[in-house]
Amino acid sequence: MAYLALYRTFRPATLDEVVRQEHIVTVLKNQIKTGKIGHAYLFCGPRGTGKTSIAKIFAAAINCENPIDGSPCGKCATCLALQDPANLDVTEIDAASNNGVDEMRDLREKVQYPPVSGKYKVYIVDEVHMLSPSAFNALLKTLEEPPKHAVFVLATTEAHKIPATILSRCMRFDFKLIPQADLEKRLKGILHSIGKGYEEEAVQALARAGAGSVRDMLSLADTCVSYSSGKLTYADVTKVLGNADFSSLATLCAAILSGDTGKALSAVEDFLAEGKSVGLLLADVLEFFNAVAIVKNCRGAKNLLALPDADFALVQSVAKEVDPHALLRATEIFALAELDLKFASSPRVLFETSVMKACMPQEDYDIESLLVRISSLEEKLKNGSPVVVDSPKQEIKTPPVKEVEDLPPEAYFDDVPPPMEEPIFDETPYFPSQTPIKEAEKKPVKIDPAPTVSVKKPVTGDAKSTFGAFLRALRRTGKNGVLFAVCMDLDYAIEDGVFQLITDSDTMYKSMTREDHYPLIKRAFEEIGVTESGFSIQLKGKPKDDFAKRMAELKDAFPDTKIEIK
């Protein structure tokens, strides 16, 4: 007899042999025991999780004369007849190659014929999502109301591609990925059956590579069993899977996480020179980073990773030195590279670029790279190591900090005097010392009185620059937030040598002329060399001269006339 692959040789023959999927097995067992068999079933889920195997067991069990706990006995005449490949009571259809409307019409005609040896005629349609829209439409009516002896079992890995009209006519079962512990148990049983010795780490590596699929795991195990003449070892499994040498991989990843670009690129060159695939190397790097993250954050890391002691020690040594921000940043960089790899015309350049980017956070500007650099500086300061800061290659001019919202541009640059005919004020900045003075060292400080202004000239020059100088002086001398905010909204002009602050709000006008506000405005103008006769506060609609003074003069001129103010 020709050799059968392990996944075919050890295909489950009863529902009890199915690995996990208890939620599906229980429902099918109860239906077989009670005889309440549905007419259409939909098995959907990842590959290698038992969809076709359970469909075959279920097809034999509903035809079996003496089912045992929901599974076929395998001894009765019907079970023996169904084991013959020529039997037509159980028909498997590959929808990938029979996806046309003609095949479905042919099935609709054949389904009318009764079974030969059993009670039911079962049609197992694998990869049903590959049917064309017209084929689905041809199957609709038959699937909804088939003959009493017909049962349809549809299997697919992509249930989202099946029309809703088909889904609504089927009893749906969603298969789950198999946990690693169950995969290990299943593989150990198979290796015992064929008399093959093994290392625990080798079984764990194969189960991890299976990624929840029994068939994928057994296909890899079939290759490893043929590769190893004696005991199945972890080294044999890593060679068959094409994984990189763990020690060299640890050297590469440690160099990436520590920022040693030259060492990392040299390690990459060594891997690629040996014929290592860029895709496999990228997957190995991500798996190593994942192992480092588990060691750094999980208590039972050794049991979770299931690595040999020597390999686990390498991961542990890298995890002790790595900064969490650097690890997270490197993992994200290589995860994105894995997505871009399928579209890259030069995978090697893409991978080496990712290595350089992960090694040089100082050349990047995202938040993770800044966190890595800050953590590195904190670590150096903690250890007492000298911190060397590279001198900038070019002078960087930092814009001034904006202190007040909506401030005119002229108010932010104290080094730009208003363009008047001659300087009229001195704005030498004063920066108080940040060093606290001891009580014994304090000395009385002589404060000079405010300088008297002897300049009695009309205001000339640009009104905008003068207004900016006034605001700066008011901010420095007045220190009144309300008044400063009021003055920022004023209009301004220079007319006949007088600088005018203009507003159309009576409330703002009254606020500026208050007893506590007006002296602050006056002092601010004196700071920039403008006397009290050189500025005025105007309310739109009022005359420039003092209104009360004019009214008094008017009353004196016409004492017999009654004057009303409205």
Q: How far apart are CA 176 and CA 501, in angstroms?
A: 78
Residue with the two structure tokens 């192992």: 291
Tell how strand 40-44 and strand 150-156 pair up. parallel
CA distances from 155 to 53, 54, 95, 162 (A): 11, 10, 10, 11
**Under-50 pLDDT residues of the chain:** 389-398, 401-407, 409-442, 445, 447-448, 450-457, 544-545
List, for residues 412-434, the tens digit of each pLDDT value. Answer: 444 444 444 444 444 444 444 44
DSSP state of 277: -
Q: How far apart are CA 41 and CA 126, in angstroms?
A: 12
pLDDT of residue 433: 44
Domain locations along the chain: 6-174, 180-241, 246-381, 410-425+452-550
Tokens of residue 145, six digits: 């109301």
Interacting residues of 42 by C-beta distance below 8 A, sequence separation 6+: 128, 154, 155, 156, 159, 162, 166, 167, 170, 171, 172, 173
Q: What is the 3-state secondary structure (H, E, C) of 72-137?
A: CCCCCHHHHHHCCCCCCCEEEEECCCCCCHHHHHHHHHHCCCCCCCCCCEEEEEECHHHCCHHHHH
DSSP state of 439: G
Architecture of domain 246-381: Up-down Bundle (1.20)
User: What CATH number does the domain located at 6-174 have?
Assistant: 3.40.50.300
pLDDT of residue 556: 74
Assess contact for 372 and 365: CB atoms under 8 A.
Answer: no
Which H/E stretch holds residue 313? helix 309-321
Architecture of domain 180-241: Orthogonal Bundle (1.10)
**Ramachandran region, residue 20 (left: φ > 0; alpha: ψ -120 to 50; beta: rest):** left
Contacts 24+ apart (CB under 8 A), 94-97: 94/126, 94/127, 95/125, 95/126, 95/127, 95/128, 95/129, 95/130, 95/131, 96/126, 96/127, 96/130
Q: How far apart are CA 263 and CA 255, in angstroms?
A: 6
Q: Do domains 6-174 and 246-381 have the same CATH topology?
A: no
Burial class (CB in 10 A: 0-12, 13-18, 19+), 297: exposed
Edge to edge, the sheet with strand 121-126 lists: 90-94, 121-126, 150-156, 40-44, 171-174
Alpha carbon of residue 431 to chain centroid: 46
Assess contact for 227 and 240: CB atoms under 8 A.
Answer: yes
Query: What is the Cβ-side half-sphere exposure of residue 297, based on CA atoms within 13 angstroms?
Result: 10
Q: What is the DSSP string of 444-464?
A: --PPPPPPPP-------S-HH
Burial class (CB in 10 A: 0-12, 13-18, 19+), 358: buried
pLDDT of residue 509: 82
List, for residues 10-25, the tens digit of each pLDDT value. Answer: 999 999 899 889 999 9
Q: What is the 3-state secondary structure (H, E, C) of 507-558?
A: HHHHHHCCCCCHHHHHHHHHHCCCCHHHEEEEECCCCCCCHHHHHHHHHHHC
Cα–Cα nearest to 186, from 308, 18, 21 = 18
